[in-house]
Amino acid sequence: MKLSANLSLAIAVSLSLQIFVASNISAQGVGGSPDLIGQQDNAITTAVPFLAISPDARHAALGDVGVATSADPSSAYWNAGKLVFIDKLYGFSASYTPWLGKIVNDMSISYLSGFYKINRQQAIGMSLKYFDLGEINFRDNNNVSQGDFNPREVAVDVTYSRLLTENFSVGLSARYIHSNLTGAFTAGNDAQPGNSVAADIGVFYTTELGTSSTLNLGAAISNIGAKISYTGGENKDFLPTNLRFGSALTKELDPFNKFTFALDFNKLLVPTQPRYDAQGNIVDGKDPDRSLLSGIFGSFSDAPDGFKEEIKEFMTSVGVEYWYNDTFAGRIGYFNEAKTKGNRKYLTLGIGFRSKKAFGVDVAYLVPTNKREHPLAETLRFSLLFQWEDFSNRDLSGSDTE
């Protein structure tokens, strides 16, 4: 992809955000009163939004459901707590997501994740998420080319997951984030790569309902970390700190057929933009320039229109997964976001395959159900999985839960 643009700090800081959000939302729209900004649309925006994009095809096909589904190599992204319930000794997965595939051919998100089960009580994992924003041609105010650059963002995770009881577990992830949007092209500004660190915490509970059903419950808070800056100064932006909670019910019809019905709720734990008058004074809502903890706890009570707007900030995902003989899978899901909070609404479809030994593959496809185009519309996403040795066949020390 070749783009020509006058480089400014504002463009540099918001480049990846615009690519992710502009196709989906009408943020900060003009409302009914000519003196008030943000009256109608008030979508929450953050830095490094690539962290919030589902990385693997299985859960992407389920409408971005994942906090309480069965464990697999990508579990750490959705809920670090459930990784310890994986039934293999070790394995890894690789996923590829074309980005804006209908427009350009050099933007993509790649995701690598791996795990190792230390014993029955403990598991560890590592993952890498890489967002390639394609090649951009920077130009100065006189439209003279300043050269090409390939913006990119990356996140590296380390995860630890542990059983606390036979049915309940907790997990922690530590994350390093690097966002390089401008390279050496500063055009007189002090633009520089943004760096931050963050953490996830997740809990997971599973129980059998009778002889043929299993209920999973999960909750996770992700990207709890320091604000990121592209200037090294006071201008800093929130990470996409996110609360996710939900459930998954699996019903075995017979030894060959089973269904899983899953439901997730999500809410960004960052400040909502207030409503300003023509002079830039806040007339409704709260000042968004707050500390990390104030932003997290205040995110439940800072919307300009009060409780009715806070409820709209919860996104809903539903998904259904069917397995035949634990070998072939069919998936369908739906993601819904309030009209004034981004208006992302899309149907997802997918299939999966698992060999009886080590190999698996998942494919996902997204279909927008409203008029707004989605960066992933009509593109295929792929995941490959490799898992070895059933953990139940191992007799490792520390395998019994107290």
pLDDT digits over 360-380, tens only? 999 999 998 887 677 888 889
- Per-residue pLDDT tens digits for 78-127: 999 999 999 999 999 999 999 887 788 889 999 999 999 999 999 999 99
Cα–Cα distance measured from residue 38 to residue 43, given in angstroms and rounded to the nearest whole number: 9
| 191: confidence class by pLDDT, cuts 50, 70, 90 | confident
Tell which CATH architecture fits domain 49-270+305-396.
Answer: Beta Barrel (2.40)
Q: Per-residue pLDDT for 234 more than 60?
A: yes
Q: Per-residue pLDDT for 304 more than 60?
A: yes
pTM for the model: 0.86
| 346 burial level (CB within 10 Å; 0-12, 13-18, 19+) | buried
Predicted confidence at residue 184, as pLDDT, reads 62
- Per-residue pLDDT tens digits for 48-73: 999 999 999 999 999 999 999 999 99
Q: Per-residue pLDDT for 181 more than 90?
A: no
- Per-residue pLDDT tens digits for 118-142: 999 999 999 999 999 988 877 777 7
Mean pLDDT for 395-401 is 46
Q: Torsion angle of alpha carbons 308, 309, 310, 313, nearest 10°?
A: 130
- Give me the helices (H) in 282-352, please: 292-298, 307-312
Predicted confidence at residue 358, as pLDDT, reads 87
* Under 8 Å between Cβ of 131 and 115: no
* Under 8 Å between Cβ of 197 and 176: yes
Percent of the chain with pLDDT over 70: 85
Cα–Cα distance measured from residue 51 to residue 53, given in angstroms and rounded to the nearest whole number: 6
Q: Per-residue pLDDT for 277 more than 70?
A: yes
Mean pLDDT for 264-276 is 94
Q: Per-residue pLDDT for 401 more than 70?
A: no
At 14, the amino acid letter reads: S
| 186 burial level (CB within 10 Å; 0-12, 13-18, 19+) | middle
Predicted confidence at residue 135, as pLDDT, reads 85
Cα–Cα distance measured from residue 39 to residue 272, given in angstroms and rounded to the nearest whole number: 13
Cα–Cα distance measured from residue 5 to residue 9, given in angstroms and rounded to the nearest whole number: 12
Predicted confidence at residue 58, as pLDDT, reads 97
| 242: confidence class by pLDDT, cuts 50, 70, 90 | very high
Instruction: Please state, in angstroms and as integers, the Cα–Cα distance from residue 120 to each residue in 86, 97, 357, 399, following that order.
Output: 10, 33, 21, 4
- Per-residue pLDDT tens digits for 6-15: 334 334 434 4
What are residue 225's DSSP bridge partners? 198
Place of tokens 């230390």: 118
